Amino acid sequence: NAGVTQTPKFRVLKTGQSMTLLCAQDMNHEYMYWYRQDPGMGLRLIHYSVGEGTTAKGEVPDGYNVSRLKKQNFLLGLESAAPSQTSVYFCASSYQRGLAGYNEQFFGPGTRLTVL
Amino acid sequence: GNSVTQMEGPVTLSEEAFLTINCTYTATGYPSLFWYVQYPGEGLQLLLKATKADDKGSNKGFEATYRKETTSFHLEKGSVQVSDSAVYFCALDTGTASKLTFGTGTRLQVTL
């Protein structure tokens, strides 16, 4: 049981290049999330998904696109990278809210992206 | 809107010292509250939680009590260890689309 995995772990891009970050979970979770972590700003939600085939915007969605074609995968795309997108990106997943009444999110190890 | 405010870090303590990391929140309704911990080079993991007022969450010697009257959820530990060195995030879940709102994080450094 690998939990939440992210690919790649590190990446350096030049301004204007594109790339896709892959998140995979093997816990059969309904919900998946993409965050970015910047110094002094905590984690900010980029996009999220409440089920296969659905996506929604979070707090800072501009410059990013996402897709959830399979329940276990959540892809984050940068079409034209900018230096402001230099950050550490975390994927998370969780069960649909149920009897527990709360939402524990399980996080991947992160992807460190540098845009030059 | 919802927000979480944490004390600024870094916090530097000697081993076996008492730890308090303050967290206050603003939210509508009755949020669930969490503390997540991030060890160096890793993702976040849930440390403890409280889902209603006056609940006390506890794990690995850490505790936090959900205080609705003061909108606070301060993290405490009676005797910290070097292995507790990490970044601690306070977070709330108001139940809206299961999204979490995080504080900015507080770095804890414990020295021998």
Mean pLDDT of chain B: 93
Supply the pLDDT for residue A41.
83
Share of chain A above pLDDT 70, in %: 96
Q: Which residues of B touch A58 (CB under 8 A)?
A: 99
pLDDT at A107: 94
CA nearest to A100 within chain B: B51
The more confidently predicted of residues A12 and A97 is A12
pLDDT in tens, B18-62: 999 999 999 987 889 999 999 998 899 999 999 889 999 999 999
- Can you give the pLDDT at residue A99? 56
In our burial notation (b when 16+ CB lie closer than 10 A, e otherwise), range B28-54 reads eeebbbbbbbbeeeebbebbbbbbeee
Chain A residues whose beta carbon lies within 8 Å of the beta carbon of residue B25: none
Question: Is residue A66 scored above 90 in pLDDT?
Answer: yes
CB contact under 8 A, A97 and B32: no
Q: What is the least distance, in Å, from the CA of A102 to any CA of chain B?
A: 6
B70 — contact with chain A (CB < 8 Å)? no
Average pLDDT over residues B1-7: 90
Q: Interior CA angle at B70 toward B48 and B99, to 5°?
A: 45
Helix (H) or strand (E) holding B59: strand B56-59
In this model, does residue B2 exceed pLDDT 90?
no
- The per-residue pLDDT for B41 is 86
